[in-house]
Amino acid sequence: MNQYPIWKYLIIVVVALTALVYAAPNLFGEDPALQISVSARKDAMDKGVDAQAATALKANNLAYKSIEVSGRSMMIRFDNTDIQLKAYDVIRQAMGNSYVVALNLAPATPNWLRELGALPMYLGLDLRGGVHLLMEVDMQAAVETAMERYVGELRTAMRSEKIRGVRVSRDADKVSLQYRNIADRDRAAEAIAEQFRDLDVKSRDEDGFRIEVMLTEAARIEEQRKALKQNITTLRNRVNELGVAEPIIQQQGERRIVVQIPGVQDPARVKEILSATATLEFRLVDENGDVQAAVQGRVPSTSRLYYERNGAPILLKKRVLLTGDSITDASSGIDSQSGGSAVTISLDGKGGRKFSRATRDVVGQLMSVVYIENKTVTHIRDGKQVKEKQRIEEVINVARIREQLGARFQITGLDNTREARNLALLLRAGALAAPIDIIEERTIGPSLGQDNIDQGFLSVVIGLVLVLIFMVMWYKSFGMIANTALALNLVIIVAVLSMLQATLTLPGIAGIVLTVGMAVDANVLIFERIREELRAGNSPQASISAGYEKAFSTIADANITTLLAALVLFGFGTGPIKGFAITLSIGIATSMFTAIMVTRSIVNMTYGRQRRLGKLPI
């Protein structure tokens, strides 16, 4: 009676050791660091970039702890924030525009733990500090932009139907078409209804032979949804340039976007990235010009000198064939003819006609895509922020025009699918799908985050100590067993959150505190049941067995109902409520394991195995 098979003990030992290993990284804190990431226009870090950074730091007498290169990023760790801030400007100047340098806090986890995949939990905005922005998308502008595209398409449709003398105009979210007679109007209404399923057509006899078209309700909702999703994608692409871990960019309601970036020590950098404007220019390559002479200053009057991503100079014609303002969509794919990577671009009606005329007589020539970005860069000089404007012009693609291009065409000649995806992102991110306004902006300093951490940690400690004292005073040796399981329960919760790389917030800490109180409920039920069995005259061994078996159904019912409530909170809640629900759900699962299986194993080893017991210390 009251014996476990060896495999159950092995499961408990493995779980406990695993939990200790994966919870340990949270004890080592963080190092002030610089994170250097390759820009979206590069595939990988250049060789020797770590040596280049080390040389720049040594030249300025700035000591660093380590330099780590991993994939597309590099982390430089420092002893304190003073050195970190001084190194920020030095590294930015040394790296140039091909890399994005961001202030960050890097986990100080030992290498042997990182090799095991053990990493600390992410801390949310309320704990770590950072930037919180609430943005609202102008949905009316999104609809008006969609209707503006239809203006050109409707004119094209009228020409194809050979309906002459049509006056087309847009007023807000409506497009009006004025005809010369009722026959033309009716024939046009029928053609529009057949060709444009997303438009509602209404005839206006009182205003003459006029048709008003506007988006159907379903199409309006779809355009607004696409604008919101595109803006989220664009903002995410820009925020990712910061190189920080776990940025939160998500939809809130039907028209708002929340941007939260924990751990950012340079809030101005966030607004720079989000407010940076980017555009594109399509220019012909001056294939007859002397590039080397241009580099030396002898540039032809009809051309301009540019540089490609790899630093190679290239001569381009001054005439701009097309700008990125006309691009409505871009997607990466495979070229059906060559089988290589390609990017498919869609233009609005006006841009399509202009580009078709511009490329009609230049088939067979090389065309370049120039990426232009205007932004304000903040430098830290003598501990103060100094802003200066920068204009970056870079040739991101050169390809040969195979045929006259129109509103939809492909850019080929790309090295790989990754480059194609990056180019498509750049094209789409040139402009937001609809204007956005920052309606709420909050900067949470690291000191406030540390205060929250300290208070949250203190609440967990106070709750834990009170529970430990109560359990020992009330249940004696069995109380100590319950306390051991409770401590293991906390370790397992932290380990699970770390393994899932969950983001811990202040409500999440509240969930852990609640779990501390709930975790001993199961043991209280079991221990009280054992006492009842002893008072009924049963033997100590039989009382232990009956206590665990008879209390199990009550424990399961109580925890399952609480778990269902936590799942409802997670499903319907947002932000902080989800954080609370996650930690509560994990705590319920782990407390069931520790309060029943772990305590039973300790009791079995201490008081089981057919031992004759005169009295239980409970």
Count other C-beta atoms under 10 Å from residue 491's C-beta: 18
User: What topology does CATH give the domain 6-24+445-607?
Assistant: Multidrug efflux transporter AcrB transmembrane fold (1.20.1640)
Each residue's pLDDT tens digit, 193-238: 888 888 888 877 666 688 888 888 888 888 888 888 878 877 876 6
Does residue 109 register a pLDDT over 60? yes
Each residue's pLDDT tens digit, 123-135: 777 777 777 888 8
pLDDT, position 271: 61
HEC readout, 316-357: EEEEEEEEHHHEEEEEEEECCCCCCEEEEEEECHHHHHHHHH
Answer whether 6-24+445-607 and 29-108 agree in fold.
no
Class (C level, CATH) for 279-372+379-431: alpha beta
More confidently predicted of 200 and 37: 200
Q: Are 33 and 75 in contact (CB under 8 A)?
A: yes
Q: How far apart are CA 188 and CA 177, in angstroms?
A: 9
Instruction: Tell me the one-letter amino acid at 522.
Output: A
- Name the burial class of residue 326, with classes exposed (0-12), middle (13-18) and buried (19+) by CB atoms within 10 angstroms of its CB: buried
The structural domains of the chain, with segments of one domain joined by +, span: 6-24+445-607, 29-108, 140-221, 279-372+379-431
Q: How far apart are CA 348 and CA 408, in angstroms?
A: 9
More confidently predicted of 426 and 44: 44
> What are the phi and psi torsion angles at 360 (to 5°)?
-60, -40
Mean pLDDT, the chain, integer: 80
| Strand segments (E) across 467-530 | 503-504
Each residue's pLDDT tens digit, 550-600: 888 888 888 888 889 888 888 877 667 877 888 888 988 898 888 888 888
User: What topology does CATH give the domain 140-221?
Assistant: Alpha-Beta Plaits (3.30.70)
User: Coil, strand, or helix at residue 533?
Assistant: helix
pLDDT, position 15: 93
* Whole-number percent of the chain with pLDDT over 70: 84
pLDDT, position 128: 72
Closest by alpha carbon to 423, among 280, 319, 318?
280
Q: Are 364 and 400 in contact (CB under 8 A)?
A: yes
Lowest mean pLDDT among 40-54, 237-251, 279-293, 392-406: 237-251
Task: Give the pLDDT band of residue 187 (cuts 50, 70, 90).
Answer: confident
**Residue 322, both tokens:** 């097309």
User: Coil, strand, or helix at residue 170?
Assistant: strand
CATH for the 29-108 domain, from 3.30.365.10, 1.10.3720.10, 3.40.50.1220, 3.30.70.260: 3.30.70.260
**Residue 11, both tokens:** 């499961």
* Whole-number percent of the chain with pLDDT over 90: 7
Q: How far apart are CA 144 and CA 223, in angstroms?
A: 10
Instruction: Tell me the one-letter amino acid at 385.
Output: Q
Beta-bridge partner residues of 411: 343
More confidently predicted of 371 and 591: 591
Closest by alpha carbon to 373, among 389, 354, 351?
389
Each residue's pLDDT tens digit, 460-484: 788 778 888 888 888 888 889 888 9
